[in-house]
Chains A and B, each alone.
Chain A
Amino acid sequence: EVQLVESGGGLVQPGGSLRLSCAASGFTVSNNYMSWVRQAPGKGLEWVSVIYSSDHTSYADSTYYADSVKGRFTISRDNSKNTVSLQMNSLRGEDTAVYYCARFIIGTTNNFFDYWGQGTLVTVSS
C-alpha cells in the first residue's frame, strides 16, 4: 500500500528555517517524481517544488521551484531512507501553510498527483 507521511512542521519566527520530511512506503522515491504542494489557511493549492525521478531520460534528478520560494527552499531525496525533504530557509509570513508531500505521475499523455500525505502545518510568526 502506498503511503506518504510528512513531519517537521511547526511554529517558526520570520527569517527562520525548518526542514520538512516525507517518508514514503509502498514504492521507491528515487523512481518517482516527488513534490511538495502547499495550502495557505483558507486558500487554494500551490505546487511548491518537484524533484524528478532518477529514471527520467533527459532531466534525471532535476529540481524545480515556484518563483515564490526559489532561492529559499531546497528539495532533496534520501534513497537509503526512502524519504523526500524540503529545507525551508528565510521563512516569511506568507509561507504559512499546510505542506503536502505528493507523488506526481508523468505519463506519455497525462501527468497527475496520485498519492498525497496528510499534510504538516508550518506557521511563520513572531
Chain B
Amino acid sequence: DIQMTQSPSSLSASGGDRVSITCRASQSISSYLNWYQQKPGKAPNLLIYAASRLQSGVPSRFSGSGSGTDFTLTISSLRPEDSGTYYCQESYSTLGTFGQGTKLEIK
C-alpha cells in the first residue's frame, strides 16, 4: 500500500501570509495527487487535482506543485476563510490513501 505523509500536522499563520503544506508518497505516484480542504462538520472540498490543476471555482491563491513522491500545496495570501484541515490523497492506486491531514489556523 502507498503511504502518504503530510507535514506539518498543524500550523498557525496570519492573514496575508504565504503558507505551504507538503505531502510525500512512499513510492512514485506520478502526478496522481489531489488536495482537499475540510471545514469542521462538513465534507471535504476538492482544491487541486493532478498535483497542480485548480478545481473550478477555487480561488487562484491556492496552487499545487510536485510529481513523483514530493508535493506541495501553497496558499499565496491567507484569508480567514482558509482555516480548516487540508488533506492530500494519492489516486494512483485503487482506493487511494489520504494523508493524515494538516490543520491550519488563521491567527
Contact = CB atoms under 8 A, between A and B. Distances in A.
B39 to A, nearest CB: 12
A44 B95 contact: no
A110 B91 contact: yes
Nearest to B94: A64
A100 B87 CA distance: 15
Nearest to A100: B43
Query: Which residue, of B49, B53, B55, B99, has the highest number of chain A Cβ atoms within 10 A?
Result: B49
Contact of B96 (A44, A47, A49, A114): A47
Nearest to B91: A111
Given A45-B44, A45-B87, A113 B36 contact: yes
Contacts of B49: 110, 112
B43 A47 contact: no
Contacts, number: 58
Contact of A116 (B43, B50, B53, B87): B43
A118 B43 contact: yes
Contacts of B94: 50, 64
Interface residues of B, number: 24
Nearest to B51: A110
Contacts of A114: 46, 55
Contact of A44 (B42, B46, B87): B87
Contacts of A48: 95
A66 B93 CA distance: 12
Interface of A: 44-50, 64-66, 100, 102, 109-114, 116-119
30 contacts: A44-B87, A44-B99, A44-B100, A44-B101, A45-B89, A45-B98, A45-B101, A46-B98, A47-B96, A64-B94, A66-B95, A100-B44, A109-B31, A109-B50, A110-B32, A110-B49, A110-B50, A110-B53, A110-B91, A111-B91, A112-B34, A112-B46, A113-B34, A113-B46, A113-B89, A116-B43, A116-B45, A117-B43, A118-B42, A118-B43
Given A100-B44, A110-B50, A112-B50, 9 more contacts: A46-B98, A47-B98, A64-B94, A66-B95, A109-B50, A111-B96, A112-B91, A113-B46, A116-B44
